[in-house]
């Protein structure tokens, strides 16, 4: 049994939650933790300088960036801090790595992408394929529950792709892909594996060494920090790749991939967001310690305890959302809608409502201070596959651990009022 969160205490860690609004727009970006804001402010007041100077603020800035890099390595369980690359967002980082990897591709090579992914883990590979004369192999998903077609995936691997691009969790429909089973198969086929973990990172533990992925990307603004992207890459791969950079920028990872002056205050904010996870992991460690203590220690253990506690506590809100949405007349839920299967998804739910366009629903809910997204959320392949793109896409409701069951009830009430209007 999970140790329940003290929700008022948790919500006090997020200054924006003082507003009367209900934030169900979390898949597009969570609210920022107080500790992240404090680190950003501290940086700009006490450490604001460029890299590599012979003076105090530059030294302090470099030290803080190093601390953020080590903390992120601990969060993802990377082997080295130099396997962590910071960038403006996941999309920019992926385009940068795809350009570097493309230099190693040959005409006729196959790159594998899935129709369940965000376009930031599709278009960079489509463009690399176009540049290098490679083939693209699409892997389909099952429309009835929006899970990836594993038979199609295995058939695609028989074509010996050079690279496999996978999402950890769908930003459109919440499905968690079984990466522990898929990545070994991809490696057996001789492929590199590039994982988009943006949607999963706020909802569960990530261990890049256990996954054995070659690259993994996530975004701090999806896990309670500022607008920053983070790339993990195996050091040997990062070291071997040719980065597109100015001279005389660093020749070794991670600096060779961090082109231009970094957003150092953003990196400080990443550190602050991870300090929130530390606080959470220490406060709610009791029932998670045994689960992780045999594998991790120190801060890495604390991070896993926090992520495990979040994941376990979010099962309840996922079940409540499934019940609420399935009970609204005319509402069609896309993705896993079985309460017993919540461990196979994150609390990101998308649906359509008969007689209402997605935009109309979002606007009507906004009038009640309930914030939700509408459209395709850059998961264009999903809405096209479901035949919904021309109808305005989907309505997306996404919870995180700071949302309450009372907020789910208010959403349910508001949707019933729309139907009965």
pLDDT of residue 1 exceeding 70, the answer is no
CATH placement of domain 7-32+312-420: 3.90.1150.10
pLDDT of residue 421 exceeding 90, the answer is no
pTM over 0.95? The answer is yes
pLDDT of residue 102 exceeding 60, the answer is yes
pLDDT of residue 50 exceeding 80, the answer is yes
Residue bearing the bigger pLDDT, 4 or 91: 91
User: For 110-119, what is each residue's pLDDT tens digit?
Assistant: 999 999 999 9
Q: Give the pLDDT of residue 3.
A: 66
**Same topology between domain 7-32+312-420 and domain 36-275:** no
Q: Which CATH number fits domain 36-275: 3.40.640.10, 2.40.50.140, 3.40.630.30, 3.40.50.1220?
A: 3.40.640.10
Q: How much is the mean pLDDT over the chain?
A: 97
User: For 202-216, what is each residue's pLDDT tens digit?
Assistant: 999 999 999 999 999
**Stretch 109-133: mean pLDDT:** 98
pLDDT of residue 2 exceeding 60, the answer is no
User: For 172-195, what is each residue's pLDDT tens digit?
Assistant: 999 999 999 999 999 999 999 999
Q: Give the pLDDT of residue 268.
A: 98
pLDDT of residue 169 exceeding 60, the answer is yes
SS3 sequence of the chain: CCCCCCHHHHHCCCHHHHCCCEECEHHHCCCCCHHHHHHHHHHHHHCCCCCCCCCHHHHHHHHHHHHHHHHHHHHHCCCCHHHEEEECCHHHHHHHHHHHHHCCCCCCCEEEEECCCCHHHCHHHHHHHHHHCCEEEEECEECCCCEECHHHHHHHHCCCCCEEEEECECCCCCEECCHHHHHHHHHHCCCEEEEECCCCCCCCCCCHHHHCCCEEEEEHHHCCCCCCEEEEECHHHHHHCCCCCCCCCCCCCCHHHCCCCCCHHHHHHHHHHHHHHHHHHHHCCCCCHHHHCCCCCHHHHHHHHHHHHHHHHHHHHHHHHHHHHHCCCCEEEECCCCHHHHHHECCEEEEEECCECHHHHHHHHHCCCEECEEECCCCHHHHHHCCCHHHCCEEEEECCCCCCHHHHHHHHHHHHHHHHC
Q: Give the pLDDT of residue 285.
A: 79
Q: Give the pLDDT of residue 86.
A: 98
Domain locations along the chain: 7-32+312-420, 36-275
User: For 313-346, what is each residue's pLDDT tens digit?
Assistant: 999 999 999 999 999 999 999 999 999 999 999 9
């Amino acid at each position: 049994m999970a140790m329940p969160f003290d929700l008022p205490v948790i919500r006090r860690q997020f200054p924006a939650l003082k507003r009367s609004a209900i934030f169900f727009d979390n898949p597009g970006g969570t609210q920022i933790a107080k500790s992240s804001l404090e680190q950003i402010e501290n940086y700009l007041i006490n450490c604001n300088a460029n890299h590599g100077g012979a003076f105090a603020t530059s030294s302090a800035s470099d030290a803080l960036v190093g601390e953020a890099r080590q903390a992120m390595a601990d969060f993802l369980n990377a082997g080295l801090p130099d396997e962590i690359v910071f960038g403006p967002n996941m999309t920019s980082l992926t385009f940068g790595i795809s350009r570097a990897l493309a230099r190693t591709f040959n005409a006729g090579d196959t790159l594998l992408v899935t129709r369940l992914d965000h376009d930031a883990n599709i278009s960079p590979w489509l463009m690399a394929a176009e540049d290098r004369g490679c083939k693209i192999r699409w892997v389909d998903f099952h429309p009835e529950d929006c899970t990836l077609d594993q038979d199609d995936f295995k058939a695609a691997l028989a074509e010996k792709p050079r690279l496999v691009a996978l999402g950890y969790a769908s930003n459109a429909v919440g499905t968690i892909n079984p990466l522990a089973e898929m990545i070994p198969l991809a490696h057996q086929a001789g492929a590199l594996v590039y994982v988009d973990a943006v949607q999963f990172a706020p909802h569960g533990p990530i261990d890049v060494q256990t996954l054995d992925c070659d690259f993994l990307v996530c975004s701090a603004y999806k896990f309670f920090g500022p607008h920053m992207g983070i790339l993990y890459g195996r050091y040997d791969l990062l070291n071997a790749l040719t980065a597109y950079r100015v001279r005389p920028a660093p020749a070794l990872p991670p600096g060779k991939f961090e082109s231009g002056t970094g957003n150092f205050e953003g990196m400080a904010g990443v550190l602050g967001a991870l300090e929130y996870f530390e606080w959470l992991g220490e406060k709610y460690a009791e029932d998670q310690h045994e689960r992780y203590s045999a594998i991790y220690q120190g801060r890495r253990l604390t991070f896993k305890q926090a992520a495990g506690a979040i994941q376990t506590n979010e099962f309840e809100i996922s079940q409540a959302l499934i019940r609420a949405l399935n009970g609204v007349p005319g509402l069609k839920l896309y993705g896993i809608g079985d309460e017993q299967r919540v461990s196979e998804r994150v609390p990101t739910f998308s649906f359509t409502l008969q007689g209402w366009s997605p935009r109309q629903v979002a606007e009507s809910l906004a009038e009640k201070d309930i914030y939700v997204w509408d459209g395709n959320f850059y998961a264009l392949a999903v809405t096209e596959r479901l035949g919904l793109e021309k109808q305005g896409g989907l309505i997306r409701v996404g919870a995180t651990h700071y949302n309450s069951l009372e907020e789910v009830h208010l959403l349910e009430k508001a949707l019933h009022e729309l139907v009965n209007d």
